[in-house]
Amino acid sequence: MSSLTVLPSSPPDPLAEELRSVLAEFPGSQVRFGRHDRLLYSTDASLYQVEPIGVVVPGSIAAAERVVAHCAGRGVPMLARGGGTSLAGQCTNRAVVIDLTPGCRELKWVDIGARLCEVESGIGVDELNEHLAKKKTGLFFAPDPATTRQAAVGGCIGNNAAGARSIRYGRTSENVERVEVCLATGERVWLGPDGGATNAVALRLAEGVSKIVRQHAAAIRERFPQTVRRNAGYGLDTILDQLDRGAMPQSVDLSKLLCGSEGTLAVTLGAVLKLHPLPRSKGLAVVSFVTLEDAIAATKPILDACLPLGLTAVELLDDVVLDAARGNIEARRYVELLPGADAARGEPKAALYVEFFAFDESGEQVRAGFSVLRELIADMPGVLPDGFAVYTDTPAMMNAWALRRAGEPLLHGLPGARKPITFVEDNAVPVERLGEFVREFKKIVARHGTRAAYWAHASVGVLHVRPMIDLHDPADRVRMREIAVEVADLARGCGGIMSGEHGDGRVRGPLLERFFGSELMGAFRDVKALFDPQGLLNPGNIVGAGPVESITSALRVDAANEADTPSASLVEPVDTYFDYSDSEGFGHAIEQCNGAGVCRKRGGVMCPSYQATLDERHSTRGRGNALRLAITGQFGGGKPKWNDAETIDTLDLCLSCKACKSECPSNVDISRLKAEYTAQRYREAGRTPVAAVATGRVRWLNRIGAVAPGIANAVNRTSLARGFIGRAMNLHPSRSLPTFSRSLFSLGKNAAWGSAKPDRPRVVLYGDCFTTYNESHIGAAAAQLLDAFGYEVRIIDAGCCGRSMISVGMLRQAIETIDVSVNRLSAAAADPNVRAIVVCEPSCLSAIKDEWLALKCRSSKATREKIAAKSSLVEDFIDRAWNEHPNRPLVERLAAPAHGPPVVLHGHCHQKALWGIETTARLLRRLVGDRLRILDAGCCGMAGGFGYGADRYELSMTIGELTLFPSLREAPVDAIIVAPGTSCRHQVHDGVNRRAIHPVELAASLVAAQQRAASR
């Protein structure tokens, strides 16, 4: 049976029914055997796609144990899963996927004295360290793969994960004390240093493994590499090492063997982990080089000189990675921070990150490390002038590391049919042979007519290389296999190995026999049979892999072909509403997610619905997958399915916050794709649902309400009207309704700020739907403020920006509306006397700056670009034009008042994603100085119309409770809460019953106070 064979989705699956009944007594557990869920779990961060039998999400460890026991009894294959961030395909299989991350993530205890803690296997690495920090233990779990934000401890054990600091802290295997596992026989057992002494099952396993290892001791000594990093096959060398040191079966520590076993020996339920003291001081030096070769040559001398001085990492980035970062909205600024950076010359071409940890408070030891390093590189060839920088404060170091962390996923955004492909990305060689390895590697790649991107955990000789391959091209696939074999041989020839940390999976499993030889492969099979006699756990990985040709089977890009829908060629003819030329066409846009799972992190904005639900389906990756599968016809039918009910459900909880557009390293823009998919659905159906029209045409409703706002508000407050509106628009009863105000245009008629002042330079205030009809006092405050700074303010009724229509997928109507608005703003854009077009509402400004340019409008693109370039938030314009405002005396008098209440700023998601919170913060800082506190609070959960929905209200509130609400509850009672977004202010009101104001309201009141004081 093909790995991609499609299971029928409708008839009830007996196995699913059995599992449901087994799990009935375990709350929070879910059995998902529908086609949609199966396919959402058919990929990881690798090239592969294999449809699982079904998905189970156990609500607890006890539930997980029961699932394993049941599947074992039924002879059903199983695949335990953490964050699903594996790069070698070991997290894709025709099996029942057991996702331990939502329900099994407890930190059970910490013993500070013994530096140990016990966790459930689904807990995330960063999450664990956050708990340890909150408990003020002074300890941390050290293994640091680049995915600590989204990887689970169980997955780290499965892959024996290790990161930049492994030279100091080792791999996961060196940081695990013991593991609790469920075997494929259904037995639950602890494996660790004394496992065999306390448990008969553990003793049986330890005796069996010891026997196998003794029998093959000579081959193990000969064939296992001596590199710090090695993660191929089963770690028999770790057992031999113990036996050599005199261990008896009772004391052989099998947890070491579990590390790196890729879920093939047992399902890890929990672990006791070793912890390390947090360093008291840290420092990061970055050295920029002229060439990659210069940087590699510098590594060994740096290691030799700095290792005794607390060196923890030497990391390498090459020019392909740096260039990819230059093309990414989020990462570009990090490249510019590199020492000696010269954007025009494309320098540096490579950089080394050299990190030091120390335990003295003073930072003296770190400084000593820096000075030795500075002296060393002073005479080194290839270091750029001014190419050395040191950082010791945390934000600066985080900024620098952000680039290194983003390196790999960024490569997926590179233009062209050939992409940097993950298949020889994980070689480890002795550091002194790194230069030779890279030279020979380059020759192999060149011989095959392509090039590669290089970055490395240089300190341990782990080189991540991505040759550029077009997986759609059969000739490139042959190249890929040939390169894989040649590189594996090269690594071996250099005394290294082809799996340094990412494991074997589907991509390197077929090369194991070539590397280890038939004797050791036999030993691996014996170990597998000892633990998993029926071969049920992640079958086909490590042992039982296919021939070399299988490296290019079960590829994700083939899955579309198998559904008779060659992905790129099928989707191109779709008449899209957005122009996808910035993503190399629609076909590429829907394939842009690489599965690395950064969107499953906690903290930041992306992805609010995942952070609140911990459900793969409600992550950016889940949505990206759903869209790709629906549009490439893989949910059935072989052609785009625009009305797929499950896909619609998966998209439903997307808040269109745009966080993924900037925070996803591949710039996957779900907000845009969701709007496109919905619009295509409406087009196919030939109608737009009434509820969507009611939300999309919010300007009409607001305009009507603003005719007689007193009456409209009074009516809205009656329970009869509230009930009627709630039912008609599917609103949640606990959600307050927005109020109407007199329109901004009518307010302006009688106000001083509304009068003509032709002698002044002009600013055009865009009358957005909310500032004009719901909160016109904000528009008035903005106009008053601009008037005070010496401008003539023209409020333009340019119509709607289209935001509300875009958010419900009314793209045809949005395009028509935008064309009208563009026409009305075009004169202002062209008029040199108009200094700026200013906007109060960030989501309207984001429409102008983002969607107006990306939608296939009929109006001239050049005009839209001019409008976008001239448009900004009111407060941003005032800050940026500070030295040119006509009212100079006011500017000179304004200084941050020393005393006053704290000011707490919550930014809008679109603002944070597209142009940054500083566009509001800078003006406030000028006015209130260090009384300003910027909340790092993610999304508020309201997101325009999202939080009104009866079926979304609870989620909206849960998202608010993640960070924003608790932060606001902690804010002093007299704090002024400032939020530029109308939805955010609404949510603050409904969530914590406090009033938030727009920044221009605060600014206008401070300026007015200043003016009053000056006139006294």
Ligand X SMILES: Cc1cc2nc3c(=O)[nH]c(=O)nc-3n(C[C@H](O)[C@H](O)[C@H](O)COP(=O)(O)OP(=O)(O)OC[C@H]3O[C@@H](n4cnc5c(N)ncnc54)[C@H](O)[C@@H]3O)c2cc1C
Residues in contact with ligand SF4 by the rule CB under 6 A: 409, 593-599, 606-609, 620-621, 623-624, 654-660, 664, 666, 668, 670-671
For ligand SF4, the closer of residues 32 and 658 by Cβ is 658
Residue closer to ligand SF4 by CB (options 609, 859) is 609
Residue 620 binds which entry of ligand X, ligand SF4, none, CB below 5-8 Å type-dependent: ligand SF4
Least separation in angstroms between CB 466 and ligand X: 11
**Alpha carbon distance 881, 763 (integer Å):** 12
Nearer to ligand X, 155 or 339 (CB): 155
565 binds, among ligand SF4, ligand X, none (CB under 5 to 8 A by kind): none
Least Å distance, CB 645 to ligand SF4, is 19
Closest approach, Cβ 255 to ligand X, in A, equals: 12
Which of ligand SF4, ligand X, none interacts with 520 (beta carbon under 5 to 8 A by kind)? none
881 or 942: CB nearest ligand SF4: 942
Residues 223 and 286: their CA atoms lie apart, in Å, by 37
Looking at the Cβ atoms of 210 and 594, the one nearer to ligand SF4 is 594
Q: What is the DSSP letter of 975?
A: P
236 within 8 A of 104, measured Cβ to Cβ: no
Closer residue to ligand SF4 (CB): 240 or 627: 627
Distance CA 145, CA 500 (A): 12
Shortest separation between residue 677's beta carbon and ligand SF4, angstroms: 12
Strands 139-140 and 276-277: antiparallel
Phi, psi (rounded to 5 degrees) for 289: -120, 160
Nearest to residue 94, comparing CAs of 142, 49, 153, 143?
Answer: 49
Kindly state the smallest distance separating residue 595's Cβ from ligand X, in Å: 7
Tell me the closest approach of the beta carbon of residue 416 to ligand X, in angstroms: 20
Least spacing, CB of residue 139 vs ligand X, in Å = 20
331 binds, among ligand SF4, ligand X, none (CB under 5 to 8 A by kind): none
Instruction: Enumerate binding residues for ligand X (CB under 6 A).
Output: 44-45, 79-87, 90-91, 100, 121, 145-147, 151-152, 154-156, 158-159, 161-163, 262-263, 267-268, 408-409, 501-502, 538, 596
3-class DSSP assignment, residue 874: helix
For residue 1008, how many other CB atoms are within 10 A of its CB? 14
993 contacts: CB under 8 Å, gap ≥ 6: none
> Of 84 and 540, which has the nearer Cβ to ligand X?
84
Q: How far is the CB of 914 from ligand SF4 (least distance, A)?
A: 12
Residue 621 interacts with which of ligand X, ligand SF4, none, CB < 5 to 8 Å by class: ligand SF4
Tokens of 744: 């901004």
Show the tokens assigned to 559. 């899955």
Alpha helices in 686-753 (DSSP H): 690-696, 698-705, 709-717, 719-729, 744-750
Pick 494 or 596: Cβ nearer ligand SF4: 596
Q: In the bound complex, what is the minimum distance in angstroms from residue 612's beta carbon to ligand X?
A: 20
| Rounded Cα–Cα distance for residues 238 and 460 (Å) | 18
Pair of tokens at residue 422: 């993950």
623: partner contacted, choices ligand X, ligand SF4, none (Cβ within 5-8 A by kind): ligand SF4
φ, ψ at 268 (rounded to 5°)? -80, 125
CB of 55 to ligand SF4, least distance (A): 17
Distance in Å, CB of 502 to ligand SF4, minimum: 16
Asked if 699 contacts 804 with a C-beta cutoff of 8 angstroms, the reply is yes
* Sequence letter at residue 498: M
CB of 164 vs ligand X, minimal distance in Å? 7
Q: Give the nearer residue to ligand SF4 in terms of CB position, either 366 or 590.
A: 590
Single out the residue of 938, 361, 830 nearest to residue 611, CA to CA.
938
Residue 85 touches which of ligand X, ligand SF4, none (CB < 5 to 8 A by kind)? Answer: ligand X
Q: How far is the CB of 333 from ligand X (least distance, A)?
A: 20
Residue 705's binding partner, choosing from ligand X, ligand SF4, none, with beta-carbon cut-off 5 to 8 A by kind? none
Structure tokens at 497: 């190995």
DSSP 257-269: HHTTSTTSS-EEE
Alpha-carbon span 584 to 736, nearest angstrom: 43
660 binds, among ligand X, ligand SF4, none (CB under 5 to 8 A by kind): ligand SF4
The Cα 1000–Cα 842 span in angstroms is 13
Whichever of 312 and 846 has its CB closer to ligand SF4, that residue is 846
- Residue 335 interacts, among ligand X, ligand SF4, none and using kind-specific CB cut-offs from 5 to 8 Å, with none
Q: Give the CB-side neighbour count of residue 814, counting CA atoms within 13 A.
A: 30
d(CA 422, CA 426): 9
Task: Tell which residue, 31, 26, 39, has the closest CA to residue 13.
Answer: 31
Q: Toward ligand SF4, which CB reaches closer, 612 or 921?
A: 612
Sign of the CA dihedral with 352 first, then 353, 357, and 360 last: positive
CA–CA distance from 771 to each of 490, 692, 693, 815, 955 (Å)?
65, 22, 21, 22, 27
Residue 408, contacted partner among ligand X, ligand SF4, none, CB below 5-8 A by kind: ligand X
User: Closer to ligand SF4 at the Cβ: 335 or 651?
Assistant: 651
- Short-list 40, 18, 8, 35, CA closest to 622: 40
Q: Considering beta carbons, is residue 261 or 872 the nearer one to ligand X?
A: 261
Q: Is the dihedral of CA 36, 42, 43, 47 positive or negative?
A: negative
Q: Residue 668's binding partner, choosing from ligand SF4, ligand X, none, with beta-carbon cut-off 5 to 8 A by kind?
A: ligand SF4
Q: Which two tokens stand for residue 978?
A: 């400032």
**Residue 654 interaction partner, one of ligand X, ligand SF4, none, beta carbon < 5-8 Å per kind:** ligand SF4
